[in-house]
Amino acid sequence: MIRLKMMFCLTLAMAILAIAADARGDYRQSFNDGWLFHNGDAPGAEAADFDDSGWRPQQLPHDWAIEGPFDVKYNARAGGLPFHGTGWYRKTFETPENAKGKAVLITFDGAMYDAHVWVNGQFVGNRPYGYIEFQFDISKYLNEDGSNTIAVRLIPEDLSSRWYPGAGIYRNVWIDVRNPIRVAQWGTFVTTPKVGEDKATISVETTLTGNLGSRNVQLRYDVFDPSGAKVASATTKGETETSTELTVRGPQLWDIDSPNLYRLTTTVLDGDNAVDGVNTTFGIRTLEFSKEKGFSLNGKHTRIQGVCLHHDNGPLGSVVNRRAIERKLQIMKQMGVNSIRTSHNPPSNELLEFCDKLGLLVQVEAFDVWMKAKVPNGYNKFFEEWAERDIKDMVRRDRNHPSVFMWSIGNEILEQSSKEDGNRIAKQLNDYVKSLDTTRPTTCGFNWYPGPYATGMAGQVDIAGMNYKPLAYGEPVNGYLPNNPVVGSETSSCTSSRGVYHLPIEKYQTHESKQVTSYDLIGPPWAYPPDIEFDALEKHPEVLGEYIWTGFDYLGEPTPYGGKDNSTNGYWNADWPSRSSYFGAVDLCGFPKDRFYLYQSQWTDEPMVHVLPHWNWENTGHEMIPVYAYTNCEEVELFVNGESAGRRVKGKDLTKILVKFNRYESDHLMSKYRLSWEVPFAPGSLRVVGYNDGQPVPEKEIKTAGTPAQIKLVPDRSELSADSSDLSYVTVRIEDAEGNFCPLASNLVRFKVEGEGSIAAVGNGNAATTAPFIADHREAFNGLCMLIVKSGNQVGEIKVLAESDGLKSDVTSLDVK
């Protein structure tokens, strides 16, 4: 048994930002404004006197590739967008007034990729890995008075990623002015040796940097509970490495339903003077992993209901945006998700911050590749030189987040085929992690069964991650790993397109429409419908749970279209314009697919029922229509035009679904997770009613829509902050004259945004279109499209107009506060 009990802390950028140049000497401010950008090589652009007058102004974060255009000459596997090439950023800034005798630090949360940085023409440093945070002390390069120039060159390469990585300085940049004696970067680590109902013992490890010499340096710690009341304090002698303990009485635990967060203030005292300070928020909770009993959070058995997420934000590209990330996680919570796997790289600070706040557990993953290349120009080029530093920096940065509960050292690593290399590198990476954090287990996503289990490679980590091997749960894997817990680190890989239904229901590899039926049964050879995993986990309660591939659609990897891993010379353009994932339970805009509700029916308790397909089948040649219902209720009754088509009992009335994947002997599964009917089509309505204890609880109705007649705008938020980055996601529905949703509509909608905001992007969830994301128009895809509106920096009103030829237009307004 792996038993872990600990308290974690996290550093919040906004909390630190609030401590601006105060008595403790801590200063951090955004460094995102005032940049210039040039797409292309610019010899000599690192020089301070370089003429950049022709460059365009650019606020960060920024992803230059999402601007497009889509083109078949780019790799559809990486989104069909121009993410590779050379890009330059320059900024002129004044030396901070309080910088004399202090350290001026520039922090990049992430830059894609192979970043080279110069200040006033002098080379400062390089960081290849685009997903890792890095910091440079630029004090010695600054002019004592006056202006300075920072230049950043990025060189993302073609065939460097298996998905869309984005390009540019796509995460936040910060400038810190700190005292020479200070808390080091990621220099606070908090664990809890004991957690009980009455009290929790907090152990704080602090690393200081600077010449302490014979100075009388002390560290003062103050702990504040979720309400802001001070609940513990301690003062101790400050050394390069300092450890101390505090006690919190009556701890309020962090968990999925109640993510309680405390705050720790660390103040560095030089004699009586406060010279440095950092704020840290943290949560108190316990973890327990058992081969026999699975996973427990705060002593309560908890099944992992997880999703894998890539880092892009759909139509916004890879650019980090707080609201985009928050919304993505909120949608996942609605589906019943309680855990995120950051596939396949370290995430943004913002994602972890929101997971802390929302109560989502996180498996943080380091790499998609080690020494053996999956694509010619991948991270394997940098692994030998940078892997130790990158994975250690990942752990140092993220080890205090209460949401982080597991470290992954890799995904589907090709070294699985080599006993010597696989075992050696896995042990090496595991040791790097354990040298910095022994409070969480390690894992790795293995897809080559039984290879890494038989060779012992899977035993180098604490938890075996199994990708697409539900048939191996139990006796087969136990023969190789008698003591290690198992988690489904990637499961299902079912593909579908929102609102698309192909009849008759049949298994196929690809369809001429370049879409995939939403009857939730199509996938590549390794993949299977979600029902297979539900069944396997039900039979094996000791398995920790699953991470489905994926929660959201993402840019790139348009499986089942375009190509295969490690073939077609790395390019996936055979089925152009398919250029985005079909894997998500939610499409690229955040619109739920039917599969969203299938998972919701298994992962949530609030009574729900969902019905599919749409009910517009006139003149299609299909007379009998298969109807499915997904529910967590005991029974469901279907009504067609008010007439009952009968009740179905969940778990008793089974639905035959077609199945074909590696090592599965049958061609179908009689699923107890779906209810079904086959009924003749007649225009009107399709209504389902869920019953518990014989009483109707939820219901859902869809109606046959008439000719598209009007547009309906539905903003997800009507109030935005005047911070130049807040977002409102405006759903654009095509309806008939009676307000019924038109599920087949493809009208082109044009947008006008006036006032204190602008268009950030548009989209519609169609994985097979080259229509641009940065535009003022979009075609509806199966009745829906999306307008993303961004606030300006002034208080006021935003007016949004949507119009389309032949349709009644709609207007909505947003308040910027």
Query: Is the pLDDT higher at 25 or at 30?
Result: 30
Reported as a single tens digit per residue, the pLDDT across 551-568 is: 999 999 999 999 876 566
- 222-248 pLDDT, tens digit per residue, is 999 999 999 999 999 999 999 999 999
Residue 625 above 80 pLDDT? yes
Domain endpoint, select from 229, 260, 286:
286
Give yes or no: residues 166 and 188 share one domain: no
Average pLDDT over residues 244-267: 96
In tens, the pLDDT along 701-711 reads 999 999 999 99
pLDDT at 13: 29
Q: H or E stretch including 546?
A: strand 545-548
The domain that holds 748 is classified in CATH as 2.60.40.10
Structure-token pair, residue 107? 């922090």
CA–CA distances in Å: residue 628 to residues 35, 258, 671, 679, 686 = 53, 35, 12, 11, 11
pLDDT value for 19 = 30
| Catalytic one of 353, 365, 490, 635 | 490
281 and 216 within one domain: yes
Q: How many domains does the chain have?
A: 5
Closest CA to 282 of 246, 322, 333: 246
Of residues 46, 288, 365, 412, which has the active-site annotation?
412
pLDDT at 565: 65
CA distance 76 to 569: 12
Please check whether residue 643 lies inside any domain of the structure: yes
Of the listed ranges 212-216, 405-409, 757-761, the one predicted with least confidence: 212-216
Residue 295 lies in a domain: no
What's the confidence (pLDDT) of residue 120?
A: 98
**Which residues contact residue 414 at a Cβ distance below 8 angstroms, ignoring those fewer than 6 apart?**
369, 370, 372, 373, 374
Strand partners, 81: none
Q: Would you call 678 a catalytic residue per the annotation?
A: no
Q: Band of the pLDDT at 5, cuts 50, 70, 90?
A: very low
Distance from C-alpha of 152 to C-alpha of 118, rounded to nearest angstrom: 6
Lowest-pLDDT range of 334-348, 466-480, 590-604: 466-480
Is 71 within the bounds of a domain? yes
pLDDT of residue 25: 37
Mean pLDDT over 393-401 rounds to 97
pLDDT over 70 at 24, yes or no: no
Please check the confidence at residue 652 and state whether its pLDDT lies above 50: yes
Is 320 contained in some domain?
A: yes
The separation between CA 440 and the C-alpha centre of its own chain, rounded to angstroms, equals: 20
Share of the chain above pLDDT 90, in %: 91
The predicted structure's pLDDT at residue 3: 42
- How far is it, in rounded angstroms, from Cα 341 to Cα 307? 6
Orientation of helix 419-434 relative to helix 380-398, angle to 10°: 30
Whether 659 and 769 share a structural domain: no
Indicate the pLDDT class of residue 355, thresholds 50, 70 and 90: very high
* Domain presence at residue 451: yes
518 lies in the same domain as 565: yes
Question: 200-232: string of b/e by CB count within 10 Å (b at 16+)?
Answer: bbbbbebbbbbeeeeeebbbbbbbbbbeeeebb
Question: Residue 10: its pLDDT value, please?
Answer: 29
pTM for this prediction: 0.95
pLDDT value, residue 566: 58
Residue 775: give the domain boundaries.
710-816
Q: Which of 572, 603, 634 is the last residue of a domain?
A: 603
Q: Check whether 8 has a pLDDT greater than 70.
A: no
Q: Does residue 9 carry a pLDDT above 50?
A: no
CB atoms within 10 A of CB 193: 12
The confidence score (pLDDT) of residue 478 equals: 84
Do 595 and 613 share a domain, yes or no? no
What is the domain-level CATH number for residue 40? 2.60.120.260
Q: Is the pLDDT of residue 413 over 60?
A: yes
As beta bridge partners, residue 287 has 4, 297
Model confidence at 6: pLDDT above 60 = no
Same domain, 640 and 573: no
**Based on the domain organization, do 202 and 271 belong to the same domain?**
yes
Domain end point (choices 685, 703, 721) = 703
- Does 723 lie in the same domain as 670? no
pLDDT tens-digit series, residues 100-153: 899 999 999 999 999 999 999 999 999 999 999 999 999 999 998 889 999 999
* Segment holding 422, helix H or strand E: helix 419-434
Q: 92 and 148 in contact (C-beta within 8 Å)?
A: yes
In a domain, 298, yes or no: no
The CATH number given to whatever domain includes residue 575 is 3.20.20.80
pLDDT value, residue 479: 87
Q: Please check whether residues 421 and 565 belong to one and the same domain.
A: yes
Angle between helices 349-358 and 322-335 (to 10 degrees): 40
Q: Is the pLDDT of residue 583 over 80?
A: yes
pLDDT at 567: 60
Same domain, 688 and 768: no
Q: What is the pLDDT of residue 796?
A: 97
Is the predicted pLDDT of residue 514 greater than 90, yes or no? Answer: yes
Whether 412 sits among the annotated catalytic residues: the reply is yes
